[in-house]
Amino acid sequence: MIETCTTKKMLILIGILLFASLSILLLEEYVEESGYDTSKIIDRISLGRKGNSRKPDKEEHNGSLDCSDPAALKLLNSCVQCSDFELNAMKTQYCRETGFYDKYICTVTNESIYKTCYSKLTPAKTKFSYFALVMLFSSAGFTYFVFWRKTIVERRAYTRLQNFLG
């Protein structure tokens, strides 16, 4: 296929590919920034409501003045998976890191507090081990494929040589 492409056609296709890649990167940056702004707007709206069970981002990690003591917190739900709405639309702080959260209730003020759950995470060593094993097996597979293909090509070359000479 590459033998049939002229230099001019190849340069035009490379230019189109570069333009498309840059457009996608710029669009992605714009979408991420507007998504971040949207999550801040949602947080401000939720702060204005009275009786809201969700605390703002700063208080989720630090706790309020009455609920700063861990003894005042009672665990309701442990390591609950965040919904798609919480991850994508609300972009809640407690769901950003792991995708799981713990729900506590403060016994002093009777308010719900959400914190990130880290116990459901796969350790980095385990992830790297999986990656290393997959790469090892894929390397072995591709090495076998390359040697197999090489023997086929050499066999065809010897056959052509024998036909040419004999």
For residues 5 and 33, state if they share a domain.
yes
Question: Do 62 and 103 have their domain in common?
Answer: yes
Number of domains in the chain: 3
Co-location of 59 and 77 in the same domain:
yes
Residues 130 and 115 in one domain: no
On whether both 20 and 77 belong to a single domain, the answer is no
Q: Which residues contact 2 (CB under 8 A, 6 or more apart)?
A: none
- 7, 38: one domain: yes
Task: Please indicate, yes or no, whether residues 57 and 116 belong to a single structural domain of this protein.
Answer: yes
Indicate if 17 and 3 belong to the same structural domain. Answer: yes
Widest CA span in the chain: 97
How far apart are alpha carbons 39 and 37 in whole angstroms?
Answer: 5
Same domain, 57 and 40: no
pLDDT, residue 143, reads 96
Shared domain check, 126 and 114: no
* CATH number (domain holding residue 102): 3.30.720.220
Both 44 and 13 in one domain: the answer is: yes
Residue 110 and residue 137 share a domain? no
* Residue 65 confidence (pLDDT): 52
pLDDT of 160 reads 93
Residues 144-156 as b/e (b if ≥16 CB within 10 A, e otherwise) read eeeeeeeeeeeee
Tokens of residue 73, six digits: 């917190």
pLDDT of residue 158: 94
- Give the domain range for residue 57: 53-121
Give pLDDT tens digits along the chain (166 positions): 566 778 888 899 999 999 999 888 888 777 766 555 555 555 555 444 434 444 444 444 444 456 777 788 888 888 888 888 888 877 788 888 888 888 888 888 888 888 888 876 667 788 889 999 999 999 999 999 999 999 999 999 999 999 998 7
